[in-house]
Structure 1
């Protein structure tokens, strides 16, 4: 166990598991100290916590380490049509509106010639 880089022969004192305790670890071939990062499925708050560098909202409305797309994008999960929502970004269609006056907001497909978020 260690608390600072200077305590280690390798000059690397980093976390190497889910435990918050730090340990002396070897440097990379580029002489960098890389801390352990969480694998896919682990809860997270920031991208830097994840091995994939992608911390996004998942189906169960919590943030987890997720994989990137083939284009290396980090895209959060979004709700399907007719699910309850509170903001356009909640929906896969990017369209969250009230279907009836005074009703709940729901995700709906964009409509119209230029694909707008309009009431049905």
Structure 2
């Protein structure tokens, strides 16, 4: 008596679709034909259905999808110049000095983007400009400057 495996195998082979052309080569239908790291123009060209840039180079390449079935574009590492949060791997694009240029920076342990603030003694326009969060005039005619917080409760008080 033949085993189930010997009986089912020929039946399963009958259920497989045969190519209509004379070629026995398998060709995907409905999906692209390019593999990972091959150049592409659109998602439909790739087996993974994922065609994205993977560097500053505008050329796009087929890449695998994430475990959540998403196509992720290349993003700038920390320290690169940027124009918006979505350009950075960290999701954080902020000033890092007096220079108005923005850079990709790491988020805090609380997953926040913290913008650069001026040190004590620098000119300021408001409390948010200063690291100390204290921007005051030292007298009626002087310009506003960042000053350290003072007092037992660390308040923003004039010196």
Provide structure 2 residue ranges, at least 5 long, that are not aligned to the other structure: 1-38
Partner of 1:45 in structure 2? 83
Match of 2:125 among 86, 95, 111: 86
CA shift digits 1:40-92 (9 cap, x unpaired): 10111222211111212202433211112233332122221111222221111
State the Cα distance separating 1:9 from its structure 2 match.
2.5
Q: Whose relative contact order is higher, 1 or 2, with alpha carbons under 8 Å and at least 6 apart?
A: 1
Pair 1:75 & 2:114 matched:
yes
State the Cα distance separating 1:114 from its structure 2 match.
4.6
CA 49–100 in structure 1, closer or farther in 2 if over 3 Å, else same: same
* Cα pair 2:98 2:118 within 8 Å, conserved: no
* Structure 1 or 2: more helix by fraction: 2
Normalised by the length of structure 1, the TM-score is 0.82
CA shift digits 1:20-52 (9 cap, x unpaired): 333222212222100111011011122221111
Moved over 4 A (4+): none
CA shift digits 1:80-109 (9 cap, x unpaired): 111122222111111112223333221112
Provide structure 1 residue ranges, at least 5 long, that are not aligned to the other structure: none
Aligned length: 120
